[in-house]
Amino acid sequence: MEKISQSVVKKDHAPKVSGRSIYVSDYPSEGVLCGKLLHAKVARAKVLGVEVPELPEGYFYVDAKDVPGDNNVNIVLDDTPVYCRETVEYIGEPIAMICGPDPKVVEQLRDACKVNYEELEPVLDLRAAQEKFFDYNFGHGDVEKAFAEADKVYEEEFETGYQEQAYLETQGMMAEPEEGGRMFVHGSAQCAYYIHGAVMRALGCGPTGVHILQDVTGGGFGGKEAFPSILGCQVAVAAHKCKKPVRCVFDRREDMEYTSKRHPSLCRYKVAVKDGKVTAMDIDVKFNAGAYSTLSAVVLQRGIIAAPGIYNVPNIRVHGWAVKTNTSPCGAYRGFGAPQTFFAVEMMMDHIARDLGVDSLAFKEAHLVKQGDTTSTCGKYHFPVPIPAMIEEIDKACDYRKKRAEYAKPQTGRYRRGIGMSMYFHGAGFTGSGERDLIKAVAKLRKYKDGTVEVLASNGEIGQGLRTTFPKIVAHELNLPLDKVYYNHPDTARVPDSGPTVASRSLMVVGELLRRAAIKLREQWVDGEEQEVEERFKEPDFLIPFYIDKFEGDAYPTYAWSVNAIELEIDTYTGVAKVLGAYGSFDVGTPIDYNIVMGQMEGGFLQGIGYASIEKMDYDAKGRIRNNSFSDYLIPTTKDVPNLKCMLHVEKYPNGPYGAKGAGELPLVGAPGAYLEAVEQALGGVTLNHAPFTAEDTLAVITKEAI
Ligand code: MTE
Ligand code: MOS
């Protein structure tokens, strides 16, 4: 193993396991007002007025009228209000915040507020929803001709549900007015500078009028990409009005019902096959964005770019739309739109193979992309595509081909087995030209007189290990012991904007800036002096420029690759599927810390298995999320997958630090495809089209098919 890959004790290990870490809810409460949001109770209505009870001394009611700047939160578009406008658009939409010293009194006052609504008919159903936030089209080749010449045309629809990030720490932000009028906002977050931009706009102040600190954060998984900007604006406005620190921390129920989740999706595939090969795909991808657009544009872009899978399809046409419904706005969740479409395309390929009488693995292998091939957006796979080797690794690890053939034979008895495989990529870093045009990352190193070095960047430790891996890179280049290099939680007043902690970009993009900065510092190093060096993002010169209006060019500089296999056994009496083994080969380039990367792979894979199997969330007829606790929304525990085997396959990326590529999201993406293929096989070759596929779903199939 390379030196950089050798594992170290994570820098945040001791404070976290000992309970010494200070999360936003751990700051002392003295002098801090507790803020609680008044959430809308109906999915769509005009707000005629709010009857606020008489407020005792020191208690405040804060709403849109108190926003000194602009009542729109700066996300991708600006349709999300800080506090609601004249209407509410989903159950949970923040109408106002009650602030005061005693949380119990605040809660009573909040519950005593009477909102007068003029109810409007909500749009809840994704199928019925027509109002588009975003509508994209792209493709290449001659789709019509391919369909006209096809031997056979297949049409299917695939559906996926919500997935809740279920981070350990719920959403929470705090705002503190400072002497001189500056506002200090801190809390649980992924993207300090996103919050900075949003709060500046809400308060109507300049960049120095506010600064943002990421506190110790108990997981994000995408859920703290945009939401903290909204909550950050709400507490900042409240603190501005109350002239006191205000903290708002969600309880689990609020968090599950009202914060962003993975987009439910509906994908229609129409596929032309000629001489046993796929010649065209006509794909329609529809995402349920919820009531405001938040991150849906970028989530949808990633989803549709991945929609043809990792297969060479000469003619493609892709239509993607994110529609408005009167439900909680959906947002980022590890995988960012790709798990939905990879599930659909993997199932589609599997179903076509079955109809053609060939094995799904052989069929997929016959269509695999390779280095030099054209991507779905007419870019290029510049680097090796290691999928064939990874398939062999998986086959070796679990005897895939043999089991696949064996379980295909008719099974009888109470327990039936199946095994399935998926293959996919995760585009490393931002989609398209975001890194070059929008983020323009800057990272710095500051060396102090005593020879210690501080990393200055805006990315956040959210469990993925940055507080350790960033210093590890720098220490490696400077040949320093790891305890001489440190990375504090970023405060926008102290650190440059190296961009958000999203798209598995931080380690690959910012890590490389830090590596280069460390080389610079090494060359300029003078003992006993304070020194600072800076590096700025430069786009790799091999890239084919990406144009978002046409969806043309390299959507990603490189890709992380993976093959998953899942083997399971179904109890036909209860419908419960037991995962006997989950096998993953993952190529994320050079691991910057073996244990951290393996933790990422295992954790992400398990989240994917949850998404495929038990994580079901739905709303009732009024649009209210029904699964608002961990007894109603099940996530996998360590007991659910006793046999999880992750392997690393290393294809180095020359523009990432020591060959590292984006790692964090990849392992979640492929599980639903592999899982559902296995369920189909265990149930005797049925055709399944939706995830999650729960025990209840399995029982329904068993009853219907008399299995
Ligand atoms: N791992 C842990 N433990 N906790 C998290 O919140 N977030 C994931 C992934 N792994 C997450 C995680 C998501 S959504 C992203 S985008 C990447 O980490 C971020 O990786 P990066 O730091 O390389 O950008
Ligand atoms: Mo990750 S979903 O890009 O925060």
Kindly report, residue by residue over 169-213, the tens digit of the pLDDT: 999 999 999 999 999 999 999 999 999 999 999 999 999 999 999
DSSP 567: E
Q: Is the CB of 463 under 6 A from ligand 1?
A: yes
Q: 490 and 524 in one domain? A: yes
Q: What is the mean pLDDT of residues 45-59?
A: 98
The C-alpha torsion from 629 through 635 and 639 to 641, rounded to 10°, is: 170
Q: Would you place residue 640 in the very low, low, confident or very high pLDDT band (cuts 50, 70, 90)?
A: confident
- Give domain status of residue 4, yes or no: no
Q: 78 and 177 in one domain? A: yes
Q: What is the Å distance from ligand 2's center to 604 Cα?
A: 12
Q: 418 and 470 in one domain? A: no
Return d(Cα 681, Cα 602) in angstroms, integer.
25
Q: What is the Å distance from ligand 1's center to 654 Cα?
A: 22
Of all ligands present, the nearest one to the C-alpha of 220 is: 1
pLDDT over threshold 90, residue 696 = yes
Q: Would you place residue 593 in the very low, low, confident or very high pLDDT band (cuts 50, 70, 90)?
A: very high
Q: What is the mean pLDDT of residues 581-590?
A: 98
Q: What angle (nearest 5°) sits at the alpha carbon of residue 447, between those of residues 445 and 451?
A: 140
**H or E element that contains 601:** helix 594-613
pLDDT tens digits along 525-541: 999 999 999 999 999 99
- Quick one: pLDDT at residue 569? 98
Q: 442 and 413 in one domain? A: no
**φ/ψ (deg, to 5) at 515:** -60, -45
Closest residue to atom 4 of ligand 2, CA basis: 222
Bridge-based pairing of strands 559-571 and 531-536 is unpaired
688: tokens are 């399944």
Closest residue to atom 12 of ligand 1, CA basis: 464
- Give domain status of residue 154, yes or no: no
SS3 143: helix
Return d(Cα 196, Cα 74) in angstroms, integer.
10
SS3 45: strand
Q: 82 and 178 in one domain? A: yes
Q: Is the CB of 460 under 6 A from ligand 1?
A: no
Q: Give the burial class of 119: count Cβ atoms within 10 A of its Cβ; 0-12 exposed, 13-18 middle, 19 or more buried.
A: exposed
Q: Is the CB of 501 under 6 A from ligand 1?
A: yes
Q: 502 and 453 in one domain? A: yes
pLDDT over threshold 90, residue 641 = no
Q: Is the CB of 245 under 6 A from ligand 1?
A: no
Domain range holding 474?
A: 434-536
Q: Would you place residue 639 in the very low, low, confident or very high pLDDT band (cuts 50, 70, 90)?
A: confident
- Give domain status of residue 492, yes or no: yes
Q: 377 and 504 in one domain? A: no
DSSP structure string for 169-232 = SPPEEEEEE-GGG-EEEEES-SBHHHHHHHHHHHHT--GGGEEEEEPP-S--TTTTSSHHHHHH
Closest residue to atom 19 of ligand 1, CA basis: 504
Of all ligands present, the nearest one to the C-alpha of 303 is: 2
DSSP structure string for 7-25 = ----TTHHHHHTT----GG
Which ligand 2 atom minimizes the distance to the CA of 222? 4
- Quick one: pLDDT at residue 638? 84
662: tokens are 């984006």
Of all ligands present, the nearest one to the C-alpha of 302 is: 2
Domain CATH code at residue 86 = 3.90.1170.50
Question: Which of 334, 426, 431 best tests ligand 2's pocket when mutated (most atoms within 8 Å of CB)?
Answer: 334
- Give domain status of residue 285, yes or no: yes
- Give domain status of residue 559, yes or no: yes
Farthest-apart Cα atoms in the chain, separation: 79
Which ligand 2 atom minimizes the distance to the CA of 223? 4
CB 193 within 8 A of CB 495: no
Of all ligands present, the nearest one to the C-alpha of 224 is: 2
Question: Which of 76, 296, 336 best tests ligand 2's pocket when mutated (most atoms within 8 Å of CB)?
Answer: 336
- Give the number of domains in the chain: 3
Q: What is the Å distance from ligand 2's center to 503 Cα?
A: 5
Q: 514 and 580 in one domain? A: no
Ligand 2 site, CB within 6 A: 190, 222, 225, 332-334, 336, 502-503, 665
Domain boundary among 258, 279, 313: 258
Q: Give the burial class of 53: count Cβ atoms within 10 A of its Cβ; 0-12 exposed, 13-18 middle, 19 or more buried.
A: middle
pLDDT > 70 fraction of the chain, expressed in percent and rounded? 100
Q: What is the Å distance from ligand 2's center to 335 Cα?
A: 7
- Give domain status of residue 136, yes or no: no
Q: Would you place residue 634 in the very low, low, confident or very high pLDDT band (cuts 50, 70, 90)?
A: very high
Q: 557 and 528 in one domain? A: no
Q: What is the Å distance from ligand 2's center to 299 Cα?
A: 9
* Strands of the 315-324 sheet, one edge to the other: 132-140, 315-324, 277-290, 265-274, 152-160, 690-691
H-only helix segments in 525-593? none
604: tokens are 């992400």
Bridge-based pairing of strands 531-536 and 183-187 is unpaired
Closest residue to atom 3 of ligand 1, CA basis: 463
Q: 116 and 38 in one domain? A: yes
Q: Where are the beta strands (DSSP E) in 334-464?
A: 415-427, 442-447, 453-456
Q: What is the mean pLDDT of residues 106-125?
A: 98
Of all ligands present, the nearest one to the C-alpha of 336 is: 2
Q: What is the Å distance from ligand 2's center to 333 Cα?
A: 5
Q: What is the mean pLDDT of residues 401-424?
A: 97
Return d(Cα 702, Cα 222) in angstroms, integer.
36
Of all ligands present, the nearest one to the C-alpha of 512 is: 1
Return d(Cα 394, Cα 646) in angstroms, integer.
10
pLDDT tens digits along 121-171: 999 999 999 999 999 999 999 999 999 999 999 999 999 999 999 999 999
Q: 571 and 452 in one domain? A: no
- Quick one: pLDDT at residue 642? 82
Return d(Cα 339, Cα 350) in angstroms, integer.
16
Closest residue to atom 18 of ligand 1, CA basis: 664
pLDDT over threshold 80, residue 501 = yes
- Give domain status of residue 133, yes or no: no
Domain CATH code at residue 384 = 3.30.365.10
- Quick one: pLDDT at residue 86? 96
Mean pLDDT (the chain) is 97
- Quick one: pLDDT at residue 705? 77
Return d(Cα 583, Cα 566) in angstroms, integer.
6
Domain boundary among 489, 510, 536: 536
- Quick one: pLDDT at residue 74? 87
CB 313 within 8 A of CB 278: yes
In sequence order, the β-bridge partners of residue 648 are 586
Q: What is the Å distance from ligand 2's center to 298 Cα?
A: 11
Domain boundary among 258, 293, 328: 258
- Give domain status of residue 548, yes or no: no
pLDDT tens digits along 263-317: 999 999 999 999 999 999 999 999 999 999 999 999 999 999 999 999 999 999 9
Q: 278 and 408 in one domain? A: yes
